[in-house]
C-alpha cells in the first residue's frame, strides 16, 4: 500500500463557464462570501494532513444558512462542479482537501447554538460551532457534551460528525456518533432534508443519520446537528504511571481492563513524545519516564476511590517504575493538557505523517512493540500518542523536510503500521477517517463485496458524483 499524495480526485464534467458558476454563487450567498482570488482560496484548500495532495478550488463560499448551502449545491449541480465541505481544516487524513475546480463550502459562519433543551438533554447547533464552545454553552445548563478530540479547542461539530471523531473520554462515553440524534443535510441531489429524531427512542425506517456520521462529506453537506447531552459529571480521580517501555505501559492498560475498570480516560505518551514536549515546554517528563500513562475515573464516592486504587494496582503490577494517585488537581490537569499538546510538540520536529490505528486491548502491547520495530527498521522517529484505554494509537512518523529518501521510508512505515493493525485484528482508522491518506488501507481492511456496497450507497445518494469526489474510495 502507498500513501496517497495525489490531489483529491478528478472533477466531474462541468457545463457553462467558471464565471457563470461564480455569478450563481454570488446570487446564493452574496458577493462578500464568495472568494476567488488565488491568495484567498489557497488557505482553505487543505487540512492538516501535510502529506495529502490538494487541488485548486474554483471558489470558496461561506454560507450562513442551510438554505444558502442548498442553493450553492444546486448551482454546483447545474455546472457539474464538485462540492468539498470544510470546517476548521483540522483533519489529519486529507478529507477536506480541495479538488481542482471545486466549490469549497466553508461552515465558518454557521456557528450558532440554536437550542439547548435541559429537559430532553439535547442541543441543536450549526456545523461550524467549535467543539469547546458547544461544551461551554451547555455547561451553563448543568449539561455535558462528552466527545473531546484533542483538537476540541478549534475543531468544529460538523467536522467531528463527518469523521465520527473520538477523543480522550470516549473509552467510557463513546464517540461523536453516539451523541448524534438527528441531522439536517443538503443531499447530492440538492435537497434540504432532516434525518433522525429528537426523542430518546425511534426506529421509524432505516437509520440514515448514522449513515451520514463518518461519511466524510461524500454523501452531502451537514447544515445542522441535534446532539444528545449528559448531566455534568463529578470530579475525576487521576492516576499517573511511569514505565520503562511503551510495551509495559500497554500491558498496564490491559491489566486495568482485566480488573473490570472502565476509566473515563486513559492516555499514553511514549518517550519520543515526552522528549518533544520537554524540548518545547520544559516539563522534565522525559527524564522521569520512558513512557507516561495517565488514567482517570469519574465514578462517585467509594466506587470512585476503589476504581482509582484498582488502576493504581494494575499499573504497579505491570511494572510501573513509579505510580500514584494525584492529589493535586492543577497538576493532574497540566498533565492532561500536555497530552493534548503532544501532536503540536512532535510537529515541531519536522513534517509529520499521522497514523490512527485501533486494535483490541489484548493486542495493544504487541502493537506498540510493532510500532517501535517499524521505527527501527525504517530509521525514523515515530512518536506514539494513544487513547490507550480503547486501543486507539496515533504513531506520528517524523520525516525531515526535503529528505526524499526519508519520505519514502516514512511511506513504508505508514503502510507497515496499517498492515500490522489489521493483522492484530484492528482497523486502519479509529477516528481520523479515511480521506485521501487511507484509501489503500480501507481497501485492505474491507472485502470487495463490502466496498461495492459502500460505493452503491454513495451512488444512490450522490448520483452525480459531486460530493467530495476522490475521498475514501479510490476511484
pLDDT band at 50 (very low <50, low <70, confident <90, very high): confident
Cell numbers representing residue 213 in the block: 456520521
User: Is the pLDDT assigned to residue 366 strictly greater than 50?
Assistant: yes
What one-character-per-residue DSSP string does 356-412 give? -EE--GGGHHHHHHHHHHHHHHTT-EEEEEEEGGGTEEEEEEE--TT-HHHHHHHHH
Query: Phi and psi dihedrals of 235, rounded to 5?
Result: -60, 150
**What confidence score (pLDDT) does residue 144 get?**
97
Question: Where in the chain is CATH 3.40.462.10?
Answer: 237-423
Q: What Cα–Cα distance (Å) separates residue 308 from each residue in 94, 265, 298, 302, 313?
A: 39, 12, 9, 10, 9
Distance of CA 366 to the CA centre of its chain: 24
Question: Where in the chain is CATH 3.30.465.10?
Answer: 113-231
Range list of H helices, 10-114: 18-29, 38-42, 66-79
Whole-angstrom Cα distance, residue 128 to residue 112?
8
For the segment 169-209, what is each residue's pLDDT rounded down to a tens digit? 999 999 999 999 999 999 999 999 999 999 999 999 999 99
For residues 222-240, average pLDDT: 96
User: Is the pLDDT assigned to residue 4 strictly greater than 50?
Assistant: no
237-423 fold: Vanillyl-alcohol Oxidase; Chain A, domain 3 (3.40.462)
Q: Which of 396, 415, 411 is nearest to 351 (CA)?
A: 396
For the segment 65-119, what is each residue's pLDDT rounded down to a tens digit? 999 999 999 999 999 999 999 999 999 999 999 999 999 999 999 999 999 999 9
**What confidence score (pLDDT) does residue 14 get?**
53
pLDDT band at 358 (very low <50, low <70, confident <90, very high): very high
Q: Is 359 left (phi over 0), alpha (psi -120 to 50) or beta?
A: beta
Q: Evaluate if pTM is beyond 0.75.
A: yes
Residues 226/180, Cβ–Cβ less than 8 Å:
yes
Q: What Cα–Cα distance (Å) separates residue 197 from each residue in 70, 138, 191, 222?
A: 21, 20, 18, 15
Residues 144/229, Cβ–Cβ less than 8 Å:
yes
For the segment 148-172, what is each residue's pLDDT rounded down to a tens digit? 998 999 999 999 999 999 999 999 9
pLDDT band at 303 (very low <50, low <70, confident <90, very high): very high
User: Is the pLDDT assigned to residue 475 strictly greater than 60?
Assistant: no
Element (H, E) at 448: helix 448-461
Whole-angstrom Cα distance, residue 100 to residue 370?
38
**What confidence score (pLDDT) does residue 439 get?**
96
Q: Which of 349, 423, 412 is nearest to 383 (CA)?
A: 349
User: Is the pLDDT assigned to residue 15 strictly greater than 70?
Assistant: no
Mean pLDDT of the chain: 94
pLDDT band at 9 (very low <50, low <70, confident <90, very high): very low
For the segment 120-140, what is each residue's pLDDT rounded down to a tens digit? 999 999 999 999 999 999 999
pLDDT band at 1 (very low <50, low <70, confident <90, very high): very low
pLDDT band at 328 (very low <50, low <70, confident <90, very high): confident
Whole-angstrom Cα distance, residue 84 to residue 386?
30
Q: Which of 217, 158, 151, 148 is nearest to 183 (CA)?
A: 158
Q: Which of 101, 115, 96, 103 is nearest to 63 (CA)?
A: 103
**CA end-to-end span of the chain:** 15
**What confidence score (pLDDT) does residue 23 get?**
96
Which CATH number among 3.40.47.10, 3.30.465.10, 3.50.7.10, 3.30.300.30 corresponds to the domain 113-231? 3.30.465.10
**What confidence score (pLDDT) does residue 13 get?**
53
Whole-angstrom Cα distance, residue 302 to residue 237?
12
Cell numbers representing residue 228 in the block: 444528545
**What confidence score (pLDDT) does residue 61 get?**
98
**What confidence score (pLDDT) does residue 392 get?**
97
Amino acid at each position: 500500500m502507498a500513501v496517497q499524495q495525489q490531489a483529491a480526485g478528478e472533477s466531474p464534467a462541468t457545463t457553462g463557464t467558471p464565471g457563470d458558476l461564480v455569478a450563481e454563487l454570488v446570487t446564493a450567498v452574496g458577493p462578500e462570501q464568495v472568494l476567488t482570488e488565488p491568495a484567498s482560496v489557497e488557505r482553505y484548500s487543505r487540512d492538516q494532513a501535510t502529506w495529502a495532495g490538494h487541488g485548486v478550488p474554483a471558489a470558496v463560499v461561506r454560507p450562513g444558512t442551510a438554505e444558502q448551502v442548498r442553493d450553492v449545491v444546486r448551482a454546483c449541480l447545474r455546472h457539474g462542479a464538485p462540492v468539498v465541505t470544510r470546517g476548521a481544516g483540522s483533519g489529519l487524513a486529507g478529507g477536506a482537501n480541495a479538488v481542482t475546480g471545486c466549490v469549497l463550502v466553508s461552515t465558518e459562519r454557521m456557528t450558532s447554538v440554536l437550542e439547548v433543551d435541559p429537559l430532553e438533554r439535547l442541543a441543536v447547533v450549526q456545523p461550524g460551532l467549535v467543539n469547546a464552545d458547544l461544551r461551554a454553552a451547555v455547561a451553563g445548563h448543568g449539561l455535558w457534551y462528552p466527545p473531546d478530540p484533542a483538537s476540541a479547542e478549534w475543531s468544529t461539530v460538523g467536522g467531528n460528525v463527518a469523521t465520527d471523531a473520538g477523543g480522550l473520554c470516549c473509552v467510557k462515553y463513546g464517540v461523536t456518533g453516539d451523541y448524534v440524534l438527528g441531522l439536517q443535510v443538503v443531499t447530492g441531489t440538492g435537497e434540504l432534508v432532516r434525518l433522525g429524531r429528537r426523542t430518546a427512542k425511534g426506529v421509524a425506517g432505516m437509520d440514515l443519520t448514522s449513515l451520514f456520521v463518518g461519511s466524510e462529506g461524500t454523501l452531502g453537506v451537514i447544515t445542522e446537528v441535534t446532539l444528545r447531552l449528559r448531566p455534568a459529571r463529578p470530579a475525576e480521580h487521576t492516576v499517573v504511571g511511569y514505565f520503562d517501555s511503551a510495551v509495559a505501559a500497554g500491558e498496564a492498560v490491559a491489566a486495568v481492563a482485566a480488573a473490570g475498570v472502565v476509566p473515563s480516560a486513559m492516555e499514553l505518551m511514549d518517550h519520543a513524545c515526552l522528549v518533544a514536549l520537554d524540548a518545547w515546554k520544559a516539563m522534565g517528563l522525559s527524564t522521569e519516564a520512558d513512557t507516561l500513562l495517565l488514567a482517570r475515573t469519574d465514578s462517585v464516592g467509594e466506587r470512585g476511590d476503589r476504581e482509582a486504587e484498582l488502576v493504581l494496582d494494575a499499573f504497579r503490577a505491570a511494572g510501573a517504575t513509579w505510580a500514584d494517585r494525584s492529589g493535586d488537581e492543577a497538576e493532574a490537569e497540566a498533565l492532561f493538557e500536555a497530552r493534548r499538546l503532544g501532536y503540536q510538540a512532535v510537529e515541531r520536529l519536522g513534517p509529520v505523517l499521522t497514523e490512527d490505528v485501533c486494535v483490541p486491548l489484548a493486542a495493544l502491547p504487541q502493537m506498540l512493540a510493532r510500532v517501535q520495530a517499524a521505527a527501527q527498521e525504517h530509521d525514523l522517529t515515530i512518536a506514539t500518542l494513544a487513547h490507550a484505554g480503547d486501543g486507539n494509537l496515533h504513531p506520528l512518523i517524523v520525516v525531515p523536510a526535503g529528505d526524499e529518501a526519508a519520505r519514502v521510508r516514512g511511506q513504508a512505515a505508514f503502510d507497515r503500521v496499517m498492515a500490522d493493525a489489521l493483522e492484530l485484528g484492528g482497523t486502519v482508522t479509529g477516528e481520523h477517517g479515511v480521506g485521501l491518506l487511507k484509501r489503500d488501507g480501507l481497501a485492505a481492511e474491507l472485502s470487495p463485496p463490502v466496498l461495492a456496497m459502500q460505493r452503491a450507497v454513495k451512488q444512490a445518494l450522490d448520483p452525480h458524483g459531486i460530493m467530495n469526489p476522490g475521498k475514501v474510495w479510490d476511484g
